[in-house]
Amino acid sequence: MAEQEASGLQVLLRTLQSSSDRESILTILQLLGDLLSGGTDRRIRYMISKGGSEALLQTLVDTARTASPDYDILLPLFRLLAKVGLRDKKFGQKALELEALDVTLILARKNLCHSQNLLHCLWALRVFAASVTTAAMLGINGAMELLFKVITPYTQNRTRIIRAATEVLAALLKSKSNSRRAVNRGYVVGLLRLHQDWHSHDTANTYVLIRRGLLLCLKHIAALRSGREAFLAAQGMETLFSTTQNCLDDKSLEPVISIVLQILRQCYPKSPLPLVTASSAYAFPVPGSVTSDPPCVLTEEDFEDDGDEEVDKDSDSEDVKEEDDDLETDVNKLTSKPGPDRPEEELRQYEAMCLELSCSFEDLESKPGDDLSFEETQYANHHHIPTAASLKRHCLSKDQLSWGQEREDTGRTSLLSTVKMGRSSVHLASGKAPGMNPYQNAQSSGLGIDSSGSEIPDIQAFLNEDAWDIDAMSCPRMSASFSNSTRPRDATEVINKLLQTHPQHIPFHDPCLYMAKARRTRSVADFKMMAFPDLWGHRPPPSAQPMLERKCGIQRIKIFEDIRRLLQPSDIINKVVFSLDEPWPLQDTASDCLRFFSKFESGNLRKAIQVREFEYDLLVNADVNNTQHQQWFYFRVSGMRAAVPYRFNVINCEKPNSQFNYGMQPTLYSVKEALLGRPTWIRMGHEICYYKNHYHQSAAVTGGASGKCYYTLTFAVTFPHDEDVCYLAYHYPYTYSALMTHLDILEKSVNPKQVYFRQEVLCQTLGGNSCPLVTITAMPESKSADHVEQFRQRPYQVITARVHPGESNASWVMKGTLEFLVSSDPVARLLRENFIFKIIPMLNPDGVINGNHRCSLRGEDLNRQWLSPRAHLQPTIYHAKGLLYYLSSIGRSPVVFCDFHGHSQKKNVFLYGCSIKETLWQAESTVGTSTLVEDVSYRTLPKILDKLAPAFTMSSCSFLVEKSRASTARVVVWREMGVSRSYTMESSYCGCNQGPYQLGTWTLK
């Protein structure tokens, strides 16, 4: 039957081409029309496969070349051509080869005054022009001149003709040669004038598609530099901007406004960032580095401005690429196990880091923290901010040392459940309007409000100080004071006085111990200040915060406001109010602008520019010794007015997209709120958008590549108090000093008769900071040989985190992991009794300290250095790998290795693992996998987490081995140490797609 149909169709097509009988041709065209109109696209494609396009085109040429073309044949033929041409990708080329372009143009010219015939010709030209090659040939043959005669001057008499002509013209202008021809012949001015005419006369929005067609013509012309220049010279920016201002909220004009916005963004002159250099404001001399040329100054000449947008590759941690080309398909590489990258005798040094395998039981009972100085140990056993009485005693009772009693809200419903299931037994702030102060919800919960309900008189004097001066803390006098009459002589006295008036209870935090740790922390810029949130501490908010619902059209409004800067520069202040590049302060405390500061641990803000009264452009600092990785920000702002929305624009972001477009908010910490009993980092901000801006990286920065663009994160903040001091951050900050404080307090909190907790130094970093190594397991039940042997034979699990400094959520996950493992929870006790945990909670302390987003002080991604790390260049990776090699060499390879990360472009918590078979299957490799033997236990842990942890999502996990990840911890530990359960665990900066809430610190822990 199918063969009969095929032969019947082929007979019709052959007859159509060969017949000269008018009635036969009309009958066949009628049959083909009925055949194609009654079916699906499959029929059209079937006809194309049988030579239908060629038959129709040949019939067109033959009919058109007669002395008197028969339009009774041509009109149905054009309708068939328009229908078939939409499905035939080679239709334009076929038309060119059969000379159908010329005859169609001739027919169109002959029928300029015959609307019906002209309309059918335009339909055919529209499908011909879908091919760029054919479009260029049509342009050479004068098609654009013909079309301009059709669409000009403005008239509403032949709207169907004009609409079709604008669509054909827009298709032709996709060809660069046609766009150049349009520029040279002055069509830009004509198109703008036509658009204005249609806009002003079409008050009922009846002819939106004609207006859209004209704008598409301008858009394609603007893809060329010469086109943009002509557009700007014709005041196209001003024209389109003014015509759309009064109709932004009109949904019927959505097709028009969308194209206008694209044109305005396309034609906005590209410019370098307002920075003196592309390099980081901080530089660190690293061993083995070659002296480089001075950083180049960014100039306009650095920019090769073409119209093509370059889509940036996502460098976020372990994001699976869509292209299968990155998958490792070399079976030898997948199955081979390379030998150690260092001599075996060198591994003996790590024996000292595994004393649990050799020391006697008496040694295990030695008191932890013996190497701490008195200055640190006097407060080290406090799990919370001490009260005035406890400060005098400098110690806590044994009962108070019980961590189980210290833990807050142990009985409340897990916020993980609220995140995933969308409900909670605690009060949720889901009904708040955008921009509403989240602290109001905290106040209603009755959290620690001062008994008098008001601030003490000296708080404002304290707030007006720049920051805490670390150097002065070790001196007799201190710059910060509460009043002129009272001037504490020591930093500890200042903290003590604050704690007396504002007692707090934050588990595992002690401001005095934090100060002691901060003094020891070494930074490239030699920070003298401490951020108040890190010093004072953070308590999770009492309720989960919902993801922000984005107002429709808000991004469009923000972009138009940016364009207004170019068109109305008189409204712009453009005043630099903060800059790391200036050797002197730029701000006057009496000025009417906000005051910014970021020179503290983990801080990152390079420059702040006041754009309008309540709007600021912000530029974050690149990683030390680098020109890239601008994402993390953490800065202090003061001098604000309450109840006034301030707009902040971080204008030098690099990633092409962000969870800020999908409900994520920055975090804010108010000092006044903290002193009122609410020391909380909260998600804050409304009107949040993330979009590409007009700034481009110079060729010098990109190594010769051009066109790489920057993105703007814009958000508005309404501060809760007048003249407050607030801190804004990309995500919940977690500093190196906070980690060291936490470890000391955690060590003091454990019962040494039950929990083996050992804190030691893995190595020193390039910046001179200690990289901590923590060992946690259960003490043996007794000193008997059997119990001690069972203790030593427990398998290892190795956990690492924070190799990427900007992924602070990884540290909050690590904090929760540490606290859980030493807790009295039955599951934690079971884990301690069955495993020895080796934990490196911060693999990149220097990066964290100096506010980097991704790199070490050498400006390199440490998670790409695991293949061949060097002790003097990547010490933390070198010794972490050495420790793993040592465990492997003594037959104690870890059963699980997990590296904690954060993810900026995906929701949920998920794992990346390694599987040979899944990689080969995904790559559709021809290598047979039936003979490959693979330990499938790599899926066990993800499946368990998917059942137990509401925020975890198995569907987001991946077990593919990519070539670009060959030097990551996950792949190296899997390949070289043979650890089948080697993972990267990713936690979203935002939240979960199974529920409406953002992840908070309580949830992450």
Domains and CATH numbers, the chain: 344-364+751-917+955-1004 (3.40.630.10)
Where do runs of H (alpha helix) occur along 202-293? 208-221, 225-233, 236-244, 254-267
Separation between Cα atoms, residue 7 and residue 844, nearest integer Å? 72
What DSSP string describes 797-830? EEEEE-SSTT-HHHHHHHHHHHHHHTS--HHHHH
Q: Could you tell me the CA-to-CA distances from 101 to 93, 95, 366 in Å, in that order?
A: 10, 6, 92
With H, G, I as helix, E, B as strand and everything else as coil, classify residue 757: strand
Choose among 463, 462, 480: nearest CA to 471: 480
pLDDT of residue 992: 87
pLDDT of residue 665: 96
601 close to 634: Cβ distance less than 8 angstroms: no
DSSP secondary structure code for residue 647 in this structure = E
DSSP secondary structure code for residue 604 in this structure = B
The token pair at 858 is 């050498």
The token pair at 112 is 């300029």
The token pair at 211 is 């207006």
pLDDT of residue 914: 94
- Taking each helix axis from N to C terminus, what angle separates 52-64 and 22-37, rounded to the nearest 10 degrees? 140
Separation between Cα atoms, residue 382 and residue 393, nearest integer Å? 11
- Active-site residue numbers? 986
CB neighbours of residue 22 within 10 Å: 12
The residue type at 704: G
Give the CA dihedral 118, 121, 125, 127, nearest 10 degrees: 120
The residue type at 283: A
Separation between Cα atoms, residue 357 and residue 350, nearest integer Å? 12
Separation between Cα atoms, residue 563 and residue 555, nearest integer Å? 12
- Mean pLDDT for each 10-residue chunk of the chain (1005 residues)? 60 84 88 81 87 91 90 92 91 92 94 94 94 94 94 91 96 96 95 95 93 97 96 95 88 92 94 90 77 42 36 39 64 76 90 89 50 40 33 32 35 36 36 51 38 43 46 31 41 71 79 91 92 92 88 91 93 93 68 91 96 96 92 95 96 94 95 91 96 84 65 96 94 97 95 94 96 96 88 96 96 95 95 97 98 96 96 96 96 96 92 91 73 85 92 93 92 94 94 80 71
pLDDT of residue 707: 60
Separation between Cα atoms, residue 445 and residue 439, nearest integer Å? 10
